[in-house]
Chain A
């Protein structure tokens, strides 16, 4: 998919299996399983079906001490990847 807008709301899919194990976030979605990198894991864990991409980006900026605009763009990119991997939906 194209990158979601800053006002998009990413949503968790109910057919995804997730495990937090030894500081890692492991995701099984569709027919693939993968480990999320640190930033992706942070973004994924901020998805609560109500926060927008912008709000998640702002949290990312605070967590990693980066410019909010940059963080919102990064969050959008990561969310797009997670949607392509069938780990998230966007509305």
Chain B
């Protein structure tokens, strides 16, 4: 059975599953399937992640929610089991999405500088999932929001933030190496590489999905500046010689710097 075969019933049934459980707001603007299922990366144990955006706040039966720095602060969450899988729906309000996007608007530029990084993880995840989700209700909404995200400073803000972290960890790695703190230098170089790859992926629109999907995202993005084989060699620390870790640390930092010089913020 292919991934697409498994997905088909989920995409077809998503609105029906919500509706039959009275979990679909009357003023729903969009429903989309997100996460691994939407990307075709799911497996037998994967959850079904749904996003529902409505005109007014949802007041669901369970009262569970996550919080985000927007108004209203609460994002209700409903979970249930169907078809042998766990389903989870997050309920955002359209005006909350407006607020998240306003944090990465180009009009937030000050003195030609990028706006500060002000998004929390769930906000980045929301925007990533709008970009990569499979819409099952309200495609016009998704199309409009994707255009807004594309036109925003989101990618620039994410890339700049990741590159700053990458540079800091690279400097840590070299400093620790010079001080003879070899184990710490290895860890710092590894972190620097991770941040650098995240910056590269964000520059190509692959952001927000976390480390566990980094290899998948690298395969999807196919960045010229970092071929997959080289990425995987460093990610898995294949060239690390325990007798001379300095060679690996310097090489990784050098690769981080090379990639950084190529990435468009």
Using a CB–CB cutoff of 8 Å, the interface residues on chain A facing chain B are 12, 14-21, 45, 48-49
Contact = CB atoms under 8 A, between A and B. Distances in A.
B171 interface: yes
A20 B258 contact: no
Contacts of B261: 12, 18, 20, 45
Interface in B85-121: 114
State the main secondary structure of chain B at its contact with A.
helix
Closest 3 CB pairs of A and B: A21-B265, A18-B261, A17-B167
Contacts of A17: 167, 260
B160 A19 contact: yes
A12 B257 contact: yes
A14 B254 contact: yes
B253 interface: yes
Contacts of A19: 160, 163, 260, 265
Given A19-B163, A21-B265, A12 B258 contact: yes
Interface string B169-185: 01100100000000000
Interface of B: 114, 156, 160, 163, 167, 170-171, 174, 250, 253-254, 257-258, 260-265
Contacts of B262: 20
A18 B167 CA distance: 9
Contacts of A18: 257, 260-261
B78 to A, nearest CB: 42
B182 to A, nearest CB: 17
Contacts of B260: 17-19
A21 B156 contact: yes
B265 A14 contact: no
A14 B264 contact: no
A14 B261 CA distance: 11
A12 B254 CA distance: 9
A32 B170 CA distance: 19
A48 B160 CA distance: 22
Given A16-B257, A48-B258, 18 more contacts: A12-B261, A14-B174, A14-B253, A14-B257, A15-B174, A17-B167, A17-B260, A18-B257, A18-B260, A19-B163, A19-B260, A19-B265, A20-B261, A20-B262, A20-B263, A20-B264, A21-B160, A21-B264
